[in-house]
Structure 1
Amino acid sequence: MIINIFKKVAKGLQVEANANRPRLMPSYRIGKPQFKDWNTERAINEGFKVSTYVYSCVYRIMKAVASIPLKIYEDGEYNPEHLLQVLLDDPHPFYSMQDIMERMAAHLYLGGIRLFK
């Protein structure tokens, strides 16, 4: 019973401490994402191309994502003749699957969007 009294007092002190803290944004926006004119083009021009830190981090993630081999297995065995595997091996006449995966990772990390679903 004494412990419950201390919990109530401590809870009241926490509310008072939070009430005196200045707010950086209105209470109805707390916990919701804030986007202000941010798009992929701006992320690339102002983040990726300008900041060496952003470039270095995103570049490493792009290379790591693209280094993962995509293989189709059927019944636990690799099937190189599967139609999806043929498409993954040669997806586009001008781009390799590695190029596409790098670009997909860059779009996801810089703009928050995917190239495809």
Structure 2
Amino acid sequence: MLTDRAFTHALIEPPVDLPGTVEVLLWSMTARRTGLLEPADDQYVEGRVLFLPGTRFKVLEVTEPTGDERGRVLLRELSADEPVRAHGPFDDLALTSLYRCVERWATVGRRRSVGAAASRRFAALPGLV
């Protein structure tokens, strides 16, 4: 389980311009879109969502990067009172949903952009900054 004590920033689709070899995919029920609040400068992020401080995430699956393919960390947001167990009731639903997103993005491609000054907010796992 990972817990971020600050706001967790995430994107609704994979970006075209972020470096790295691992993608973190989050399945969520409470993330909030920030479109109406985004600045018009280099902090602008199209398709940003935020999680409140203290949000807990369960690690569902980790895939190492290989060759040209990025690695993946699949996470599911836990509800505030949900116990952490080996296999929870929403784990299969979350994994199926995340796999579908990966398949869709493989055919559609990357379209979103991230402002240069905001890119560091998306460079680490929740709770590890």
The structure with the largest helix share of the pair is: 1
Q: Do they superpose with TM above 0.5?
A: no
- Length-normalised TM-score, structure 1: 0.25
Larger radius of gyration: 1
- Length-normalised TM-score, structure 2: 0.23
